[in-house]
Structure 1
């Protein structure tokens, strides 16, 4: 890096617990230019829920099923927590009802995860019991691309996150199609933050025509969710961070899952 690294304050990053609201806010809480997604279009998507005073569960992050008993997510989501606090919902487009629920037996986050600059932002959750796979619940294969993603690739991100820092979650899963951009162009958008080839960056397609809509990129509740490469329907990324919840000018940054295949396989083999 030619420039000294500066750490953006937490208010500039997409972090923290989402705001829970009593009523469905799906008309307002959405990716910009997104559409509501049927769970059968993303049957690998899961909601990571944390117990709150043993009375109700809060959606904290997303994740993806890579084996019937294994979910991949962002290390940021589970860092500093205990396995007993977590529940994982699969097979439902609504994060707080339907589908299947599993407890988390244990989790492993990357040993070199850095919370401040979000490097090595990857973790595996091992479930107490496997999900029953079917039409609404499926594992997604990780892409085997040997080269970096290019601008010729389009991908789809899914999640339930808030439209802004202080806004409600969307109750229904939504999806957003993104254009993969070169990591150098991504770095130019974030001159004061660290980016590397272990990350993937994506920008919204045709964002200009959505200028007057409720501006939406990723936000609280989306982190840890999957990025699917559309041509082969394989997992290429994990939603990691972005510059503010409603900034339409900056790309979304994902953990490049393909760069962590050795780490993933070594941990799958011993758990």
Structure 2
């Protein structure tokens, strides 16, 4: 059995800004309380740490980034709605925390690649709508982003920022940044020239590029998993994408990538959710839609046939797996299935496999596995990580350490007696005879010129045998 629903729009009041006191600081890109009521936070159940952002689309559904939930089951995930200032409870309206019951990842999402990076979170209980908790609007079928590529309208992305989520900064207020979308060709060229390592993550079919409208704003001040919310009438904001990845937190030439919201996949998933819920309360009955045409589904069979928006059911509905013939057992090899209330039909001919995870604590009848309409992927891979975290800025607030020595300076005292050298050799005594000190007249006293005449020298001499002066003379 397949249930088709009209698009949920919260009575025409979806996507409305509800800003009120207390106000945020616009110079810091802060929003007012309740200004962005569709913003959600994704929490880890064990310690309620912040994982990423999300967007409320129904009382029981939040959409986020699939990569944010890698490795997690539904039982490990909570969502928080109505938050504004982290860690503050005295706000005008309370926040709400709800357990996730099922995670439905996009069937084309594959870990290690950021293509089709989106997941639907089915909640275990409905959020209670208030001014600070309210859904965003959804686009109409067939709408494209062409007008926004050409500069029409306005798009915003919201959240608290990567650094805040990593550090869990108490008192941090939600931010909002205006984003300008870039046409696919220009985005491809920018990535090729400035960020070639990110080219493999870019897929024109499922991804849209943008950059902060004001280049002084940092895209890292908002959250992965949050909505790319756009408006053309300045009244109702519409979900056009999910913030998936970016080029980093350095200002100047930032690029951000958004999963293009896939309305067909979303409505298919919501139809499965409602079909499973509805099947629990009906058995052995024939149900016909309001429109002219009806299809037939036989309990326990593997085929679905039908066209148009109406449907019929014949045969007993023996639970989810028997009634739907595809929620647990898988759709048949051939069949047709409609999407939405406008009778869109999609024909498919291949087998399908699971792309959802469910919470073990489920109690409201959607505990069955859900089979996707297309192939899912399961493979080993070598994961290449793209780090999107803002560089850590460390501020030292500790006063520089002043070292004071309290130990008394050490005084060194030499106790060894100085070495006295004693010479035992008898000193050599040298006697100098100073001129003028003798009686010999040839000794000249200092300062006296000695220049005797010949007569003075000879006259004073007396010849004798000893002098030998006259030897050999007659």
Q: Partners in 2 of 1:166 and 1:261 — Cα distance? A: 31
Residues 185-224 of structure 1 mapped to structure 2, 5 A cutoff = 185-191=186-192, 192=196, 193=199, 194-207=202-215, 210=216, 216-218=218-220, 222-224=223-225
SS in 1 for 2:186: helix
Residues 52-91 of structure 1 mapped to structure 2, 5 A cutoff = 52=46, 56-91=47-82
Q: Partners in 2 of 1:251 and 1:129 — Cα distance? A: 37
Q: State the shift of 1:39 in Å.
A: 4.2
Distance 1:238 1:34, change over 3 A: farther
What TM-score results when the alignment is normalised by the length of structure 1?
A: 0.76
Larger radius of gyration: 2
1:255 to 237, 255, 259: 259
- Structure 1 contact 34–177 (Cα < 8 Å) conserved: no
Q: Partners in 1 of 2:165 and 2:33 — Cα distance? A: 25
Q: Partners in 2 of 1:95 and 1:69 — Cα distance? A: 23
Matched, 1:152 2:156: no
For 2:173, the equivalent position in structure 1 comes to: 172
| Farther off after superposition, 56-65 or 193-202 | 193-202
SS in 2 for 1:190: helix
Q: State the shift of 1:164 in Å.
A: 9.3
Distance 1:39 1:118, change over 3 A: farther
Distance 1:89 1:180, change over 3 A: same
Distance 1:147 1:103, change over 3 A: same
SS in 2 for 1:189: helix
Q: State the shift of 1:264 in Å.
A: 0.5
**Which consecutive segments of 4 or more residues in structure 1 shift more than 4 A?**
95-98, 163-170
- Structure 1 contact 36–175 (Cα < 8 Å) conserved: yes
Spell out, residue by residue over 1:45-87, the C-alpha distance to the aligned partner (whole angstroms, 9 max, x if none): 00101034xxx31111100010000001111111220111111
- Structure 2 contact 50–168 (Cα < 8 Å) conserved: no
SS in 1 for 2:79: strand
Residues 29-178 of structure 1 mapped to structure 2, 5 A cutoff = 35-52=29-46, 56-96=47-87, 98-144=94-140, 146-149=143-146, 150-153=149-152, 154-163=154-163, 171-178=172-179
| Farther off after superposition, 183-192 or 222-231 | 183-192
Q: Partners in 1 of 2:179 and 2:76 — Cα distance? A: 33
* Structure of greater relative contact order (alpha carbons < 8 Å, 6+ residues apart): 1
Matched, 1:239 2:243: yes
Q: State the shift of 1:134 in Å.
A: 1.7
SS in 2 for 1:57: coil
Q: Partners in 1 of 2:144 and 2:263 — Cα distance? A: 13
- Structure 1 contact 34–176 (Cα < 8 Å) conserved: no
SS in 2 for 1:41: coil
- Structure 1 contact 48–60 (Cα < 8 Å) conserved: yes
- Structure 2 contact 52–165 (Cα < 8 Å) conserved: no
| Farther off after superposition, 94-103 or 153-162 | 94-103
Q: Partners in 1 of 2:145 and 2:164 — Cα distance? A: 31
Distance 1:137 1:164, change over 3 A: closer
- Structure 2 contact 101–123 (Cα < 8 Å) conserved: yes
Higher strand proportion (structure 1 or 2): 1
Q: Partners in 2 of 1:74 and 1:65 — Cα distance? A: 13
What TM-score results when the alignment is normalised by the length of structure 2?
A: 0.45
Q: Partners in 1 of 2:205 and 2:211 — Cα distance? A: 17
| Alignment RMSD | 2.6
Number of equivalent positions:
230
Q: Partners in 2 of 1:132 and 1:166 — Cα distance? A: 28
Q: State the shift of 1:34 in Å.
A: 5.3
Q: Partners in 1 of 2:133 and 2:165 — Cα distance? A: 30
Spell out, residue by residue over 1:219-239, the C-alpha distance to the aligned partner (whole angstroms, 9 max, x if none): 7x7110111103241111110
